[in-house]
Structure 1
């Protein structure tokens, strides 16, 4: 009887042990499967983000190429045609007819075409460098007298050693920031500074406008998305500091390894 009892005990023990092993194996393989699914999901999310970034980068590059083409066509074709039209019409008007009324209109159209052309593809960037082009950009925005712009370039000539892609990205970022300030901030003053810090080139942009609510997503607007995308393309970062009624500040940091000198 004792032997039968012992055998039953052993069978129960073996059954419990087997059940435990099976349960442990099931849990182990389930957790392993869950981890594999999580890793695959994470990899897919990373791939989607990378693809989105590549698509956005390709879109921005395509936009720049198209801007250059349109800007060149406006300057070379439309601008030249308007200048020729002005000369032809000037020859057909006699001195006795007095000052032609069409001249100011054509001059205005030529100036507008030239301004649009330079905005689409700034020629000064390749000819004179980033510092000159930024001065020209800031002077254009400040010309109306509504906003005062203070630009302090403490990088000196180093600002013009940025490679073409980096210089163009910084120019476009400044364009977007100025446009946002004019459209939305209601600012009176803008301060822009460049300087070196921690083996990097830094650009700060600060306006005294109405700022943004701390609870708002400061990077969610289309303009800010474009700014962050352009900065990421050149391995730069943008740190935003703003509060309602406290203005807007962005600190752009370009690491030294991302700068290819010319």
Structure 2
């Protein structure tokens, strides 16, 4: 009887161990499937961004440049101070502003600097452009190795930084932003901090997916694909800090 009881116990323990192993394996498969779906979704977004950026540059940009040439030709046949001349001048100014806007949108959709020079230079260009608008002061610091991250990593991190700036400029009422990028061949850390109005970080982290905005969902999706942690802090006195931590190996 004792041997039978021991055999039953051993069988039960082995069965439980196998069952747990199967459950862990199924959970891992589920996580990998979710990650693959996220990667496919984000890649679809990037492909669409590239298509729109190309259309803006090749079609809209070229057409605007042609219209600008026509306006310059018309200007030759009218008096500068006449009503028609002033309208042509305003039209040229509007065309020039629109061309600049199209170029800016195209750069945001498909940052050539990121492909050519990497994350740090692309982030610096983005910070410089925001500083030129003279609405928010951006301080950018970095401490990185010469070796670049992989192209998918750089793109995902750049999109995260873009979205953080977008949220701050839209909602935070901030006057200053500090961005710090640090990475080595083994680890990565990005700190984004503003002095805006802040928010309830605990409520945000615990909120359901259905109540989160599209921007926040994109942030979390990109962080998940990277295998990075995304942590928010916002003290009662205001301001927001976002920490992104990941292994780069």
TM-score computed with the length of structure 2 as normaliser: 0.77
Question: Could you say if the C-alpha distance between residues 28 and 183 of structure 1 is closer, same or farther in structure 2, counting changes exceeding 3 Å?
Answer: farther
| 1:141-173 deviations in Å (ceiling 9; x for gaps) | 333333211001222x63x71222121111101
| 1:120-141 deviations in Å (ceiling 9; x for gaps) | 1112222343222212212233
TM-score computed with the length of structure 1 as normaliser: 0.74
Structure 2 SS opposite 1:250: strand
After TM superposition, give the deviation of residue 213 of structure 1 in Å. 2.2
Q: Does residue 1:130 correspond to 2:119, yes or no? A: yes
Q: Does residue 1:169 correspond to 2:151, yes or no? A: no
Quote the Cα distance in structure 2 between the aligned partners of 1:196 and 1:66: 29
Question: Could you say if the C-alpha distance between residues 30 and 131 of structure 1 is closer, same or farther in structure 2, counting changes exceeding 3 Å?
Answer: closer
After TM superposition, give the deviation of residue 44 of structure 1 in Å. 5.0
After TM superposition, give the deviation of residue 178 of structure 1 in Å. 0.8
Deviates more, 1:216-225 or 1:97-106: 216-225
Quote the Cα distance in structure 2 between the aligned partners of 1:109 and 1:210: 32
Q: After the TM superposition, which residues 185-224 of structure 1 pair with which residues of structure 2 at under 5 Å, given as runs?
A: 185-196=172-183, 199-218=186-205, 221=212, 222-224=214-216
After TM superposition, give the deviation of residue 195 of structure 1 in Å. 2.9
Unpaired runs of at least 5, structure 1? 1-16, 258-262
Q: Does residue 1:56 correspond to 2:23, yes or no? A: no
Indicate if the aligned counterparts of 2:174 and 2:196 stay in contact, CA closer than 8 A: yes
Quote the Cα distance in structure 1 between the aligned partners of 2:115 and 2:183: 23
Indicate if the aligned counterparts of 1:212 and 1:245 stay in contact, CA closer than 8 A: no
In the alignment, which residue of structure 2 is the partner of 1:81?
63
Quote the Cα distance in structure 2 between the aligned partners of 1:203 and 1:42: 32
Q: After the TM superposition, which residues 8-87 of structure 1 pair with which residues of structure 2 at under 5 Å, given as runs?
A: 44-87=26-69
Structure 2 SS opposite 1:231: helix
Rg comparison, structure with higher value: 1
Number of residue-to-residue matches in the alignment: 237
Quote the Cα distance in structure 1 between the aligned partners of 2:30 and 2:186: 32
Query: What is the aligned-residue RMSD (CA, Å)?
Result: 3.3
Deviates more, 1:120-129 or 1:166-175: 120-129
In the alignment, which residue of structure 1 is the partner of 2:72?
90
Question: Could you say if the C-alpha distance between residues 195 and 77 of structure 1 is closer, same or farther in structure 2, counting changes exceeding 3 Å?
Answer: same
Q: Does residue 1:231 correspond to 2:223, yes or no? A: yes
Indicate if the aligned counterparts of 2:186 and 2:247 stay in contact, CA closer than 8 A: yes
Question: Could you say if the C-alpha distance between residues 247 and 69 of structure 1 is closer, same or farther in structure 2, counting changes exceeding 3 Å?
Answer: same
